[in-house]
Amino acid sequence: MFSKILIANRGEIAVRIIRACKEMGVATVAVFSEADRDALHVSLADESVCIGPARVQDSYLNMPSILSAAVKTGAQAIHPGYGLLSENARFAELCEKCHIHFIGPDAKLISELGDKDAAKRTMREAGVPVVPGSEIVPDVEAAKKAAKEIGFPLLVKARAGGGGRGIRLVNTEAELEPAFLASSKEAEAAFGDGACYLEKYLDPVKHIEMQILCDNFDNVVCLGERECSIQRKHQKLLEESPACCITPEMRARMMDAAAKAAHAVHYRSLGTIEFLVDSDRNFYFMEMNTRLQVEHPVTEFVTGLDLVKWQIRAAAGIELPFHQEDIRLNGHAIECRINAEDPENHFMPSCGRISLLHIPGGPWVRFDTALYQDYSVPPYYDSLLGKLIVHAPTREEAVRKMKAALAELVIEGVTHTADLQMDILSDPDFLDGSYTTDFMEKRGAE
Ligand code: ADP
Ligand code: ADP
Ligand code: MG
């Protein structure tokens, strides 16, 4: 096992990873930007290093600065968390060059699977059904030709996309050119790669993903699904497991497909395989995330496994001591993301000093956050304030538990989305489980 790990992230996920390390007896190094001097992850870690100014490009995405902090402190491994450098193949490669373990798959796997178009090809060849669509379309003319075959509506998607960026919906041929140029431009700015492909737009559709855990010995374990269809602008707001719409038979088929996908690429580490499920209950591979997922606690509740610890052990070359037949999925878990955004005002981001904080408790209630009383939420980063997660024997009880926990949660000083989550939990389409990815749009329209 590693003796010291550097956490190349901030916020709730940095705190989550530091806690796992402490419980495993591993020393921790936090890195922080000048705007994050007073952040919780800095005070919880054994050591901390300032890696640059507030802007992520200058700090949390500053590879030389992070690597030199690791070398200087003698960290043997780097945990990238999610977002930021977590799916950056170049960073994983630089870690290897510096003889530091990157906690995730190797650079080659990250780049093969991070290219969403190439990943779909690999999965198709492995016999996994994929969302119908085109190869990379180099220009508008090629896009028009491909669109004729796919039909409208369709999506333009950036092959390097992530976090909902680089995606545009196209309803008619006239919309294609501006959408293609906008996607390409957005992806070029965000990821340095403007290449795009087209995909048939499935509507109505559910986003259901499978959590997998693999080691360096070709062991693949699937930890069940998460239903993530409550989204806004292609970003998840609420997740639950199990998904209420899928039968045990369908779950078994999706788990098989996920395991097949993992074996096909000789996957190592923790990963998520995202599928779309249409109204005829056909499922299609959409993309794979080669990192810890924001919503991983949902799976931790239903499996009883600490995913961060197993991810770290896998990176340290420890073989998984359990197999698929040992996995039991128990009860029902729900996560609500609490974002510093104003739902009444176009989800405008909010920042400021936390003047009052009360975190709900009780059995099987978890709030993952980096907030504390008097902390000032800086304006530079992700709007996630915390994740409220509950677990209960049935979905009905989990919904009630979540409502009680949300009612108890107090975060004053910034505008946030807890009341919106409460409304979602009372919506008939949510309650009967029939909801699809257009849930928020439909609510908006009403
Ligand atoms: P998930 O399925 O885990 O939610 P996403 O693709 O939505 O995955 O991205 C993971 C998280 O990381 C999101 O909360 C997103 O806002 C955040 N994120 C992605 N890229 C960045 C970045 N460059 N800087 C800060 N946060 C980021
Ligand atoms: P990202 O890499 O940004 O996470 P994804 O490819 O996972 O992008 O897509 C994000 C979301 O967009 C999905 O969760 C889903 O709601 C929606 N989406 C993506 N592809 C399709 C599609 N072909 N048809 C309908 N909705 C889609
Ligand atoms: Mg995705």
For 315-327, the pLDDT digits (tens) are 999 999 999 999 9
- Residues with Cβ within 8 Å of residue 417, at least 6 apart in sequence: 237, 337, 338, 339, 341, 343
User: Can you give the length of the chain in residues?
Assistant: 446
pLDDT given at position 163: 87
10 catalytic residue (yes or no):
no
Q: Is the pLDDT of residue 64 over 90?
A: yes
Would you say residue 124 lies in a domain?
no
Q: What is the mean pLDDT of the chain?
A: 97
- Residue 165 and residue 84 share a domain: no
Q: Are 194 and 236 in contact (CB under 8 A)?
A: no
Across the range 282-297, mean pLDDT stands at 98
- Residues with Cβ within 8 Å of residue 135, at least 6 apart in sequence: 117, 146, 197
Would you say residue 106 lies in a domain?
no
- pLDDT class of 349 with cuts at 50, 70, 90: very high
Q: Are 318 and 1 in contact (CB under 8 A)?
A: yes
CATH number assigned to the domain comprising residue 156: 3.30.1490.20
Give the ligand 2 atom nearest the CA of 284.
23
Give the ligand 1 atom nearest the CA of 292.
3
- Residue 363 and residue 246 share a domain: yes
- What percent of the chain has a predicted confidence (pLDDT) above 70? 100
Backbone angles phi, psi at 102, to 5 degrees: -90, 125
387 CA distance to ligand 3 centroid (A)? 18
Across the range 288-303, mean pLDDT stands at 98
- Residue 234 and residue 185 share a domain: no
Would you say residue 266 lies in a domain?
yes
CATH number assigned to the domain comprising residue 393: 3.30.470.20
Would you say residue 42 lies in a domain?
yes
Question: Which residue is closest in CA terms to ligand 1's atom 20?
Answer: 83
The residues pairing with 4 across neighbouring beta strands, listed in sequence order, are 27
Domain extent, residue 181, equals: 132-200
- Residue 218 and residue 260 share a domain: yes
Would you say residue 125 lies in a domain?
no
pLDDT given at position 84: 96
Question: Which residue is closest in CA terms to ligand 1's atom 19?
Answer: 83
- pLDDT class of 446 with cuts at 50, 70, 90: low
Active site residue: 291, 313, 337, 366, which one? 291
- Residue 96 and residue 166 share a domain: no
Rounded alpha-carbon distances, angstroms, from residue 219 to 89, 206, 306: 23, 29, 17
- Residue 190 and residue 302 share a domain: no
- Residue 302 and residue 163 share a domain: no
Measured CA to CA, the distance from residue 39 to residue 378 in angstroms comes to 10
Across the range 160-174, mean pLDDT stands at 94
Would you say residue 113 lies in a domain?
no
Q: Which of 131, 154, 234 to mutate to test the pocket of ligand 2 (most atoms within 8 A of CB)?
A: 234
Pocket of ligand 2 (CB under 6 A): 131, 155, 161-164, 167, 199-202, 205, 207, 231, 234, 274, 276, 286-287, 437
- Residue 229 and residue 146 share a domain: no
- Residue 339 and residue 234 share a domain: yes
- Residue 264 and residue 405 share a domain: yes
- Residue 228 and residue 196 share a domain: no
Across the range 156-185, mean pLDDT stands at 96
Q: Is the pLDDT of residue 144 over 90?
A: yes
Measured CA to CA, the distance from residue 298 to residue 304 in angstroms comes to 10
Would you say residue 108 lies in a domain?
no
Would you say residue 115 lies in a domain?
no
The response to whether residue 235 sits with its C-beta less than 6 Å from ligand 1 reads yes
Domain boundary, last residue among 101, 117, 152: 101
User: What is the identity of the amino acid at 5?
Assistant: I
Number of domains in the chain: 3
- Residue 158 and residue 297 share a domain: no
Q: Are 187 and 161 in contact (CB under 8 A)?
A: yes
Domain boundary, last residue among 156, 182, 200: 200
CATH number assigned to the domain comprising residue 69: 3.40.50.20
Query: pTM, whole model, 2 decimals?
Result: 0.96
The response to whether residue 236 sits with its C-beta less than 6 Å from ligand 1 reads yes
